[in-house]
C-alpha cells in the first residue's frame, strides 16, 4: 500500500459538508480484497481492537487495504476523543487506486491519525508491532494543544448554534466570527471592541482600585511597593493579614493571600516579584467569588475554593493530592474543567502555616489548604452561585466593569456571602480581569453550568444577528466569470461594497487586490475576511473544490451556468460527465435553507441538481415554454426566461420585464450565451433582494469590454473589420461563440485558436471541428505552456479536427500567440470578422488594443449601397461593426 497524495479539505467538499483529510492510496493486487487474507484483519484487531470488523460489513464491494486505512484513521481519532463520524473510500478508474476521505476536527490531528493508521496497517500486514496506547495518547495530546480552549471554545460553540460562520485566524485563540463588514473577532474571552486602554487599566491593579474607589465601589486598602522592606511597612500600615500579588498579573500567578507572618510574607514577596512590580493590600475575610459581566449584565457567578485535600489519617498530603489529581476533569493546562493541584514553594509555605509538610499524614476529616487564592488555574474548584447574587452586588460588579471599560469582565469579589450588599459586610472587589476564564461557569465543580458563550454572542450580535453577508457562488463549464462580474455589478449598483473573485483576480469595491486565477477557496476566504465587503460574489471553479473544498460553509445563492459536455475531464479522477455533475453540485448542496439555487433549465445535468438544494430553486432558459421552466412556473416558483425581446422574471402572479434592448452585453439579444449569463445574474440578484430599479440600471451600464469582462467576448473595430477576443477553450464555449458571431454580419470570417494541453484529445479536436463549419480561415498557434503535451502535439490534434471541414479552406500553423494575432489582424479587410481565442488574457488583450490604437485612420465611409458617390461609383455597405452599432442605437 502506498499513499501517493494527501491533502486537507478545509470546507464542504465532494465527499461531505465536514472537513476531511483526503488521500490517494494505491494497493497492489493482493491488497484489493482482504477476504483473500483473513489473517490481516485478525492481526489488525489484535493490535487495535477498536477498529471493529472490516470484511463482511460492506455490501457494496470488496474491502481493500485502503478501506482498512480509512477505518483505522477514523477509529484512532474517535478513540482519542475527537468528535468524528464520517469516512469514505471510493475506487478510481485506475485499478488498485482509491480515494480515501476521513473527517477531522483539527487538521494536524487528522494528518497524524492518517500517519498512525498507515503504520498500523503495515504492522498488521507485515507482522510488526504497534503501540496503540502511545498513538492514542499522542493524538489526544495534540488535540488538546490544537483545539480551542474552553473559554474560546464555548463562545465559538454558541456562535455555531446561532449559525454564525467561524474562521480560526491562528493556532491560538484568535477567531473571526461572521464575514466582511459584519465580522467580529475574539481572542479567548476578549472581544474586538475592548480597547487597549481598558485592558491596560485592568492590568494595573492599583490604578483599577483607584478608579473603582472613585466610583464608590468598595475595594481593599493597599498600595504598590518598591522592595521587601517597603512592602512589609505597607502591610503593617493596612494591617495584617495581607495579600501580596503582582501589580500586573493574571490567572492567580504570584498571588499569596492571608499572610500574617514575616517569613511567609518575604517568600510571598519574592514569588510576586518574579512577575514584576508588587502590590500589597489588606486581606478581606470571607469567600472568594468570581462574577462574570458581559455588556451591562451579570451573567454568571461562582464561589471559588482554594486547592485542598481532606485527610483520611492514612495517606500523606502528597498522596492525597495525587489521588485528587486522578479526577479526569483535572488536566495540566486550561483545556479541562479543572487543573491539577501542584505542590510547589507556595503550597509548602501554606502547609507550613498549618503545621504540615507534603509528607505529613493529616488526621481524618482535616481540611488541608495548599493555596489561599482560589484560581482554577492553580488547582481550585468552583461552585455556581449565579441565582444567589444580590442585585446590589451585581450592580457593583457591572459598575466596576464599566468603569474600567471592559465588555467582558471577570470581577473578583471577597465577602462573606453574595446574598447581601458588599457594604453591609465589609466586602470588596479585589480585581477586575480582562479576558476572564469561563470554564468555572461553563463546567463548575458543583452546581449548574451557565451558557456564558451564548451571553457573549448575544452581546456581540444582538437581535439574533448571524454575522453573514450575502454570498453568491457561481460555477459551471462556461460563463462563470461573466456571470460573476455582472452579478457583482448589479449588487454594486444597489450601493453595496462588493467583494468578487474570478479567474482574473480578487476585487473589493471595484479595486483589484490580487491577480491571477483566484477562483479557489483561499481567495474566497480572503474576500470574506475583508472588512469593507457588504456582499460577496465568488467564482467557484472545480480545481479549488477538489483541492481544498469550498471557502465558505454555505452560500445564499448557488448559480450553475451549465455543465454541457464538460471540461477538464480526465483530471483528478473526474473522468465522466456524471463525476463532473456531482462535483459542480457541491455549491448547490451547501445553499442555506433560506437561500436559492439558480439553475440552467436547458441542461439536464444542472436540472438534476435541483432536488439536492436545501433552499428554493430558480430555473432560467431562453425558451419560456421549455418543459422545466413551464412546469416550475405552473407550480408558482421562480423562473427567468425570454419573451418578445424581454427578460421575464416570474413567480406566481408576479412578473417583471427587462427589455433586452437595454442590455448592451447581449447586443439586443443576438448573443445567446450572453443572454443566458444575464438571466443567471438577474436570478442571483433577485434572490438577494436587489431592487428592480438597481437591476435595470446595472444591466444598462454593464459593458463587455476588456475592462468590464476581460477575455469574454471583447469586441474591437480594426480598419473597418470586427475583431472579437474571447477565452473560450472547450467545445461548449466554442459552440456558443459560433452561435453568437453567426448573428453578426461579415464578408469573410477567420479564427485564431490554440488548445489547452490538459484537455482530452477528443475535446481538442472537437473545438476545431466546430470552427471548421463556421470560418473561412483558421490560424492554429502553439502557446508557451503545453500543459504536459509534447511539442506540436496540440497543433496536430487541432488540425485533425479540421479534416473534412465544410467551410474552412485556409489553415495556417504559427508558433507564438502574439505572432498569430498579428498574422490574423494583418489579413483583415473592411467588412471581415475575426474571432481570436486568446490564452494569455491580459497580455493578449493589451496587444490587440495596442494594434487597434495604432491603426491607420479608416477610409471615409462610402455612400450606402446603390447610392452614387461623387465619382459615380456604387458604394459598398458600411463596416459590419459600425452597422451593428447603428442598429443597436
The span from the CA of 475 to the CA of 818, in Å, is 30
C-alpha cell at 80: 482519542
**In this predicted structure, what is the pLDDT of residue 332?**
79
The answer to whether 679 and 656 are in contact (CB under 8 A) is: no
Mean pLDDT by 10 residues, the chain (889 residues): 95 96 96 92 95 71 93 97 96 95 98 98 96 97 93 96 96 95 96 95 92 95 94 94 86 83 92 93 93 97 93 95 90 74 88 92 93 78 96 97 97 96 94 93 94 97 96 95 96 97 94 93 97 98 94 98 78 85 96 98 97 98 98 98 97 98 93 96 98 97 79 89 89 89 92 83 89 94 74 89 91 92 95 93 91 70 42 34 35
The answer to whether 732 and 567 are in contact (CB under 8 A) is: yes
Domains, the chain, with CATH or none: 2-146 (no CATH), 150-193 (no CATH), 221-283 (3.30.1490.20), 307-370 (no CATH), 471-701 (3.40.1190.10), 714-853 (3.90.190.20)
Name which of 407, 406, 382, 411 is nearest 394 in CA terms: 411
33: left (phi over 0), alpha (psi -120 to 50) or beta: beta
Name which of 195, 190, 196 is nearest 175 in CA terms: 190
The answer to whether 558 and 687 are in contact (CB under 8 A) is: no
The answer to whether 534 and 569 are in contact (CB under 8 A) is: no
- Taking CA 802 as the corner, what is the angle to CA 798 and CA 806, rounded to the nearest 5 degrees? 160
The span from the CA of 554 to the CA of 644, in Å, is 37
* Strand order, beta sheet including 428-434: 381-384, 297-305, 287-294, 408-415, 428-434
Indicate the pTM of the whole model.
0.84
**In this predicted structure, what is the pLDDT of residue 17?**
95
Q: DSSP alpha helices (H): ranges in 204-297?
A: 205-214, 228-238, 262-273
What is the per-residue DSSP string for 184-227?
Answer: EEEETTEETTS-HHHHHHHH-HHHHHHHHHHTT-----EEEESS
Q: How many CB atoms lie within 10 A of CB 804?
A: 7
**In this predicted structure, what is the pLDDT of residue 880?**
37
**In this predicted structure, what is the pLDDT of residue 378?**
80
Strand 278-282 and strand 222-225: the pairing is antiparallel
Which residues are within 8 A (CB) of 462 and not within 5 positions of it... i.e. 6 or more apart? Answer: none
**In this predicted structure, what is the pLDDT of residue 127?**
92
Dihedral angle over CA of 292, 294, 300, 302, nearest 10: -10
Strand 278-282 and strand 256-259: the pairing is unpaired
The span from the CA of 189 to the CA of 453, in Å, is 9
**In this predicted structure, what is the pLDDT of residue 854?**
87
Which residues are within 8 A (CB) of 638 and not within 5 positions of it... i.e. 6 or more apart? Answer: 596, 616, 617, 618, 619, 632, 649, 650, 651, 683, 686
Q: Sign of the CA dihedral 23, 29, 34, 37?
A: negative
**In this predicted structure, what is the pLDDT of residue 864?**
44
**In this predicted structure, what is the pLDDT of residue 568?**
64
619: left (phi over 0), alpha (psi -120 to 50) or beta: beta
Query: 509-531: string of b/e by CB count within 10 Å (b at 16+)?
Result: eeeeeeeeebbbbebbbbbbbbe
The span from the CA of 376 to the CA of 441, in Å, is 11
The span from the CA of 445 to the CA of 336, in Å, is 12
What is the chain's length?
Answer: 889
Dihedral angle over CA of 214, 216, 221, 224, nearest 10: -30
Amino acid at each position: 500500500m502506498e499513499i501517493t497524495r494527501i491533502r486537507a479539505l478545509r470546507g464542504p467538499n465532494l465527499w461531505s459538508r465536514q472537513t476531511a483529510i483526503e488521500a490517494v492510496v494505491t494497493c497492489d493486487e493482493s491488497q484489493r480484497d482482504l477476504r483473500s487474507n483473513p489473517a490481516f484483519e485478525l492481526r489488525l484487531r489484535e493490535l487495535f481492537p477498536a477498529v471493529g470488523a472490516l470484511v463482511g460489513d460492506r455490501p457494496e464491494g470488496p474491502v481493500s487495504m485502503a478501506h482498512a486505512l480509512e477505518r483505522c484513521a477514523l477509529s484512532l481519532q474517535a478513540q482519542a476523543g475527537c468528535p468524528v463520524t464520517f469516512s469514505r473510500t471510493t475506487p478510481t478508474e485506475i485499478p488498485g487506486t482509491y480515494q480515501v476521505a476521513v473527517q477531522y476536527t483539527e487538521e494536524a490531528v487528522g494528518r497524524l491519525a492518517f500517519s498512525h493508521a498507515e503504520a498500523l496497517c503495515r504492522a498488521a500486514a507485515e507482522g510488526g508491532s504497534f503501540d496503540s496506547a502511545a498513538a492514542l495518547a499522542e493524538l489526544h495530546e495534540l488535540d488538546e494543544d490544537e483545539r480551542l480552549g474552553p473559554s474560546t471554545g464555548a463562545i465559538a460553540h454558541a456562535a455555531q448554534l446561532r449559525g454564525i460562520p467561524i474562521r480560526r485566524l491562528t493556532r491560538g485563540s484568535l477567531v473571526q466570527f461572521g464575514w466582511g463588514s459584519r465580522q467580529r473577532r475574539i481572542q479567548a474571552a476578549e472581544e474586538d471592541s475592548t480597547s487597549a486602554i481598558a485592558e491596560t487599566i485592568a492590568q494595573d491593579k492599583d490604578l483599577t482600585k483607584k478608579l473603582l474607589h472613585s466610583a464608590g465601589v468598595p475595594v481593599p486598602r493597599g498600595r504598590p511597593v518598591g522592595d521587601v522592606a517597603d512592602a512589609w511597612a505597607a502591610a503593617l500600615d493596612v494591617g495584617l493579614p495581607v495579600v501580596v500579588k503582582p501589580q500586573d498579573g493574571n490567572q492567580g500567578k504570584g498571588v499569596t493571600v492571608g499572610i500574617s507572618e514575616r517569613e511567609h510574607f518575604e517568600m510571598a514577596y519574592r514569588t510576586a516579584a518574579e512577575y514584576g512590580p508588587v502590590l500589597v493590600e489588606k486581606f478581606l475575610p470571607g469567600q472568594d467569588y468570581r462574577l462574570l459581566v458581559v455588556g451591562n449584565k451579570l451573567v454568571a457567578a461562582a464561589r471559588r475554593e482554594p486547592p485542598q485535600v481532606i485527610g483520611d489519617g492514612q495517606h500523606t498530603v502528597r498522596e492525597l493530592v495525587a489521588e485528587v489529581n486522578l479526577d479526569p476533569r483535572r488536566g495540566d493546562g486550561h483545556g479541562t474543567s479543572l487543573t491539577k493541584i501542584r505542590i510547589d514553594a507556595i503550597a509548602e509555605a501554606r502547609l507550613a502555616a498549618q503545621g504540615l509538610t507534603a509528607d505529613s499524614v493529616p488526621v481524618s476529616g482535616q481540611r488541608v489548604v495548599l493555596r489561599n487564592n482560589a484560581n482554577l488555574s492553580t488547582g481550585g474548584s468552583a461552585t455556581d452561585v449565579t441565582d444567589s447574587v444580590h442585585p446590589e452586588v451585581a450592580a457593583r460588579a457591572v459598575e466596576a466593569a464599566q468603569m474600567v471599560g471592559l465588555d467582558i469582565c471577570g470581577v473578583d469579589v471577597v465577602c462573606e456571602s453574595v446574598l447581601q450588599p458588599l457594604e453591609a459586610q465589609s466586602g470588596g472587589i479585589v480585581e477586575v480581569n480582562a479576558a476572564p476564564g469561563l470554564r468555572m461557569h461553563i463546567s463548575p465543580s458543583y452546581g449548574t453550568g451557565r451558557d456564558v458563550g451564548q451571553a457573549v454572542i448575544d452581546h456581540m450580535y444582538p437581535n439574533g444577528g448571524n454575522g453573514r453577508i450575502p454570498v453568491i457562488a457561481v460555477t459551471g463549464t462556461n460563463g462563470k466569470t461573466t456571470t460573476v462580474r455582472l452579478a457583482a455589478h448589479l449588487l454594486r449598483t444597489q450601493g453595496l461594497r462588493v467583494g468578487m473573485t474570478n479567474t482574473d483576480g480578487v476585487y473589493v469595491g471595484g479595486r483589484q487586490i490580487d491577480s491571477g486565477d483566484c477562483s479557489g477557496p483561499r481567495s474566497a476566504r480572503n474576500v470574506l475576511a475583508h472588512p469593507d465587503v457588504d456582499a460577496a460574489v465568488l467564482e467557484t471553479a472545480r480545481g479549488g473544490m477538489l483541492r481544498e473544498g469550498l471557502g465558505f460553509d454555505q452560500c445564499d445563492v448557488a448559480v450553475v451556468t451549465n455543465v454541457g459536455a464538460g471540461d477538464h475531464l480526465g483530471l483528478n479522477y473526474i473522468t465522466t460527465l456524471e463525476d463532473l455533475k456531482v462535483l459542480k453540485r457541491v455549491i448547490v448542496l451547501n445553499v442555506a435553507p433560506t437561500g436559492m439555487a439558480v439553475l440552467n433549465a436547458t441542461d439536464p445535468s444542472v436540472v438534476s441538481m435541483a432536488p439536492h438544494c436545501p433552499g428554493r430553486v430558480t430555473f432560467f432558459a431562453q425558451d419560456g415554454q421549455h418543459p422545466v421552466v413551464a412546469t416550475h412556473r405552473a407550480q408558482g416558483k421562480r423562473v427567468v426566461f425570454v419573451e418578445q425581446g424581454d427578460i421575464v422574471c416570474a413567480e406566481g402572479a408576479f412578473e417583471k420585464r427587462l427589455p433586452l434592448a437595454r442590455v448592451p452585453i447581449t447586443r439586443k439579444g443576438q448573443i445567446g450565451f450572453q443572454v443566458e449569463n444575464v438571466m443567471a445574474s438577474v436570478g442571483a440578484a433577485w434572490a438577494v433582494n436587489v431592487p428592480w430599479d438597481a437591476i435595470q440600471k446595472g444591466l444598462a451600464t454593464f459593458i463587455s469590454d476588456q475592462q468590464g469582462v476581460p477575455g469574454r467576448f471583447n469586441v474591437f473595430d480594426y480598419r473597418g473589420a470586427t475583431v472579437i477576443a474571447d477565452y473560450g477553450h472547450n467545445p461548449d464555449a466554442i459552440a456558443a461563440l459560433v452561435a453568437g458571431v453567426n448573428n453578426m454580419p461579415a464578408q469573410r470570417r477567420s479564427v485564431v485558436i490554440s488548445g489547452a494541453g490538459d484537455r482530452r484529445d477528443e475535446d481538442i479536436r472537437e473545438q476545431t471541428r466546430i470552427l471548421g463549419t463556421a470560418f473561412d480561415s483558421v490560424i492554429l498557434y502553439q502557446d508557451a505552456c503545453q500543459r504536459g503535451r509534447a511539442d506540436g502535439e496540440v497543433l496536430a490534434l487541432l488540425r485533425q479536427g479540421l479534416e473534412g471541414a465544410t467551410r474552412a479552406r485556409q489553415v495556417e500553423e504559427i508558433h507564438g500567440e502574439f505572432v498569430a494575432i498579428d498574422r490574423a489582424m494583418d489579413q483583415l479587410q473592411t467588412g471581415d470578422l475575426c474571432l481570436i481565442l486568446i490564452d494569455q488574457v491580459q497580455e493578449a488583450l493589451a496587444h490587440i488594443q495596442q494594434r487597434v490604437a495604432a491603426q491607420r485612420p479608416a477610409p471615409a465611409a462610402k455612400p450606402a449601397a446603390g447610392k452614387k458617390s461623387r465619382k459615380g461609383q456604387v458604394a459598398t455597405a458600411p463596416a459590419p461593426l459600425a452597422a451593428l452599432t447603428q442598429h443597436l442605437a
